[in-house]
Structures are given as C-alpha cells and as structure tokens.
Structure 1
Amino acid sequence: MMYMSRVRVATDRLDRAKLLSVLSGEAYGNHQLLWRLFSDESDRSFLFRQEMEQDQLSAGENPRGLPLFYVLSEPEPVPVPGLLEVHSKPFSPVLATGDVLVFRLRANPTVSRKTATGRSVRHDVLMDAKTECKREGLDDPEAIRKRMDEAAIQWLEKRSERSGFALESVPQLGGYRQHINKRNNKNIQFSSIDYEGVLRVTDEQRFQETLFRGLGRSKAFGCGMLMVRRR
C-alpha cells in the first residue's frame, strides 16, 4: 500500500531561517522538513514534489504564498501539529498496458562521462549538451537551446523504454534550474527540469514500479516523482 499526500506548511513552529529556507525552495532543507512526517523511519521512503499553493489550491482553500508538497510514501505520513498539515489517501492505481495518461515529472537528467583518468563523472544532461555545442564552435543561442532541449527529451525517451511507458508526443519542458545546497559544509549541486506530456503504458508492472520508486536521480531533493492522471 502506498499513500499520496498533500502537505501544507503551518508557520507556527518555523523560525525565520527555516521559513526563508522553505520559501526559497532549498531542496535539502525541504527534504529534512518532510522527513518529520516519518519520525519512525530510519531510511527515506518517500518521493516529493514542491509546488506553490496559489497554483494548486482553489480560492476556497485560502492559498498563501507558501510552498505545497505532494508526497508519495509507503508509510502513511503523520501530521506535525503547528508545522505540517497532511491530507492523505491510499494510492493504488489500476493500470493496464495501453493506457494513455497525462504526466508531469520534475527530474534530474544526468549523463556519465569518462575523464582523462578513466574515472566516470556524472554531468547535467543540458549542460553537457551546451558544452558539446561549444566544442563544435556553435554559438547561436537559439541553436544551443534547441540542442539542450533535445538532450533532455532524449534522456527521458531512453529511460521510458525500461520504465514501462512510451511518450505519445514530444513533452513540454520548463522550470530548468540549477540547485546548490550546503550539507555538512559541502556543496550539493544538481539540476532539475519539468516535463509535461502524454504517455502510453507499455508494461503495467514496470510502470507501477516506476511510479513507486521514481525516475532518475536526486529523489531526496524533490526529483523523480511521476504524477499521472487519465485524460
């Protein structure tokens, strides 16, 4: 059994520093905040996606200028009074091969490249494509942006084959962002980009596993949660 939850932040128990961290979308801080919902768990067992209340809630729900989180988890999250408000429901989608679904995904697309020493290093797919353009002497901004978008789409297409789905059309891209977070005096760097489009389920079991485990890297920082609905 999995649970899909909508989590709102109550500001009663947030000091100024924590509130600023939440408002800035600082990924590691938000991960730590949401972990408060699973105080009995020693390992991360949830995926999450951050949105803004005004984009997700109706006027009757009194949206504020604060983030809202969607959380997919195996254990049911427990609200933290004065800090995190939770509305949860069981998540057990009935899927079949051939189903066509609208999807949204915030992902951290990466590619592994070998250095001169033979060591493999992971790179942001979009920045890797931009670097390749520079190597080729390509300096037209529009052409570079097109190459970067193509690289992001190819990354998703490649992973879809082993994740139980196929893209029905070219997805829309947006929200590209490079994140730098500090943890134990070290910088954690990753990028994220939002995909929106239509997919077709090609293997119901693999696709369900993808929904539950997420897609790509940086899942602890708000990436990888595939959100779907029927058209």
Structure 2
Amino acid sequence: MYLTRFRLNTARPDARRLLSSPQTMHAAVMSSFPELLPTAPGPRVLWRVDHNAPAEVLLYVVSPSRPDLTHLVEQAGWPAAAATGTAGWQTYNYAPFLERLDKGTCWNFRLAANPVHHVRVKDGTPTKRTAHITPRHQMQWLLQRQEAGGFRITTKPLDRRHTEHGDEHQLAVHSQRNTAFTKRGAAGRVTLTTVTFDGRLEVTDPDALRGVLIGGLGKAKAYGCGLLTLAPLG
C-alpha cells in the first residue's frame, strides 16, 4: 500500500475545476494508475482533499500501487518547479506504518466522510438515504462506527467536558460541503454532503483499523470520502 500527498496550485483554473467537482477529481485520481482500465473494476483507491488554507490545499491518495501524478502536476501543480525536482508529489510506502499499529496507542486523526442514514418519508414507501446535517448527529454517526472500526475516540478531561452539548469526546466536525453533479448512467443529479472530522483515537483492534485505513469508512468513497489518516500526538 502507498500513501501519496500532492499540493494543488489553487491559482490555476484547472485546479479550481478539479476542486469544484468530486466526479472530475475522481477521474483524475484514477488516471494516475496506468494499469487500471476505465471499463474494468479495479482495487479500492481512496482520496481526500484537505483545505488547510486558501493556498494550502492537499490531495491525499491511498492506493495498492504507486501512482503517477504527472498529469496533475501539469494541470494543477507547478510544472516548472517539478522539473527541477523541488515540487511535485510525495509517495510513501504505507505498509511499514500499518504493520506498526499497536493496541492501546493513541493518534490524532482526520477523516472526510459522508454521514448518512436511511429514513422513510411515509408508511409503505422505501427508505431513502439522507445526509446528517447537524454536527451532533454527524458526530454520533462516527461514534457508532468506532467499535467495528477498531478504534475508540478518546474523551476529554472531566473539567473540559460539556456533556449537555454532546462534546465530551475529543472530536470536532467542520468544513461541511454540499455538492451536486451528474453521474454518468444515473437518472438525475447526485447530491453529496461531506464533512471533515478531526480528533484523537485509541487503537482497540489493529487489524480492524488497518482495514479502515486501506478500505475507507462510510459511503461515497469514489468522491473523496472515507479516507482516515493518523498522525502522532503533539
């Protein structure tokens, strides 16, 4: 497995075009793997865009094979700088990190997700997938998945908890984005609500957590959701 990071040049029109459409970004990411044919199902590739600042927008990709992002550098990066070896993308072997995950260790984490639930508008009709739109329900969506995912979101010290507001966990949700686009072969437009979770977790089942890190969490993985990454505390 490989983890790749690429910084987008937001001053370029093609970068803004990619960022405006999850479907367009998905196509660009999948084009980074020459061995994958567009008409054939391939292995799971996860990606996420982090908007850290107006001029610091990073694309992360987790993939079974090493990607070639030359086309992204040419369209949405700094081609001249990349030619001198000072800019482009960085790809890391992810396997050693995954193998070192131990039960009981704690990490900071970030996750872009599509928190949804199924509701029935009226009796006798099929349920419909609907996005959670409030931070409290979005957090609850993630908390409900922590045990199966092999992690536990840690709680705040007692003097910093405000349980009446539902914020006893070391967890924040932000950057809600609502997008709509036309999917090839679909009858109508696809609407997508994504949020970013930042927090701290403890590993409870390393094997299950490894599965989440390489397989994603939740729906809409093709459109920039589901990628969970870890970082050391402090």
Matched residue SS, 1:72 = strand
Cα separation, 2, equivalents of 1:203 and 1:227 = 16
**Residues 21 and 181 of structure 2 are in contact (CA less than 8 Å); yes or no, is this contact kept in structure 1?**
yes
Residue 97 of structure 1: CA displacement?
Answer: 1.0
Report Cα offsets for 1:2-41 as digits up to 9, x if no partner.
Answer: 1000124579xx8x5x44412x431111111111101321
Cα separation, 2, equivalents of 1:45 and 1:80 = 21
My pick for the range that moved more, 179-188 or 163-172, is: 179-188
Q: Is 1:111 matched up with 2:117?
A: yes
Cα separation, 1, equivalents of 2:102 and 2:207 = 9
Q: 2:17 is matched with which residue?
A: 21
Give runs of aligned pairs for residues 1-231 of structure 1, distance below 5 A: 2-9=1-8, 18-22=14-18, 24-42=19-37, 43=42, 45-52=44-51, 55=53, 65=55, 67-81=57-71, 82-83=74-75, 85-92=88-95, 93=97, 94-115=100-121, 116-126=123-133, 148-169=134-155, 170=169, 171-184=171-184, 186-231=188-233
Taking structure 2 as the reference length, the TM-score comes to 0.75
Taking structure 1 as the reference length, the TM-score comes to 0.76
**Residues 9 and 15 of structure 2 are in contact (CA less than 8 Å); yes or no, is this contact kept in structure 1?**
no
Cα separation, 2, equivalents of 1:97 and 1:192 = 29
Runs of 5+ consecutive residues of structure 2 not aligned to the other structure = 78-87, 156-168
Q: Tell me the matched-pair count.
A: 195
Matched residue SS, 2:197 = strand
Report Cα offsets for 1:154-199 as digits up to 9, x if no partner.
Answer: 1101011111011103211110111111223731111011111110
Q: CA RMSD in A?
A: 2.3
Cα separation, 1, equivalents of 2:63 and 2:118 = 29
Runs of 5+ consecutive residues of structure 1 not aligned to the other structure = 56-63, 127-147
Report Cα offsets for 1:66-87 as digits up to 9, x if no partner.
Answer: 7431111111102325347432
Matched residue SS, 1:155 = helix
